[in-house]
Amino acid sequence: MTARRTEDTYLMTRPTSDKPPSSANQAVCRRGILIGAAATAGVIAAGGGGLLVASAHGRSSYQAAVDATWRHAGSTDLAFRPARLELARYATLAANSHNTKPWIFRCIGRAVVILPDEARRLPAVDPDDHHLFASLGCAVENIVQAAPAFGLRASPVFDPGIRQIRIELESAPPFRSALLLLPIG
């Protein structure tokens, strides 16, 4: 290993041949790094300032998007079809691994079926799909907790053969839960 001076810093290189060092090795220098860091800091500062200005003017539209996402149903006195869709919407708000939202919902008869979305698998960090199915379980639990407010009882059943969770919905008396504070009726 030899040290050679290039502009303002030293580069540690291994002699690989008797040829003179390439210009690629000489391109890395302290001055270049400092200039790049200063430029990056300037871009970040300008972007941050722009973000503050944009958020000051667009706060209401951002807040409207948040409110629309996390809104509660206007009424729990819904027909079965709209109630079933509202339950599926509540399920999409569930905690999920790496924010992948790895689910597909199907409304079939008096049931909501949740399937894993294979395109959203993360085999590098979840080779056995444990996190994927834990995420599906969170979505199912959201449906189970929200269903009583809509006058429904949710009964989930997992079918490992076809890798799906079927949630049968039955009529039940409406119930106000401390976890889901919705007006009844």
Give 78-91 pLDDT, tens digit per residue.
Answer: 888 999 999 999 99
Dihedral angle sign, alpha carbons of residues 39, 33, 31, 29 = negative
For tokens 């969170």, name the residue: 138
Query: What is the percent of the chain where pLDDT is above 70?
Result: 62
pLDDT (0 to 100) of residue 13:
44
3-state secondary structure of 172: coil
Compute how many other C-beta atoms are within 10 angstroms of the C-beta atom of residue 185. 8
Greater confidence (147 vs 180) lies with: 147
**pTM of the model as a whole:** 0.62
Label residue 153 by pLDDT band (50, 70, 90).
Answer: very high
| Higher pLDDT among residues 75 and 96, named by residue | 96
Domains parsed from the chain with CATH numbers: 2-66 (no CATH), 80-171 (3.40.109.10)
Residue 77 pLDDT exceeds 80: no
Q: Quick check: helix, strand or coil at residue 86?
A: helix
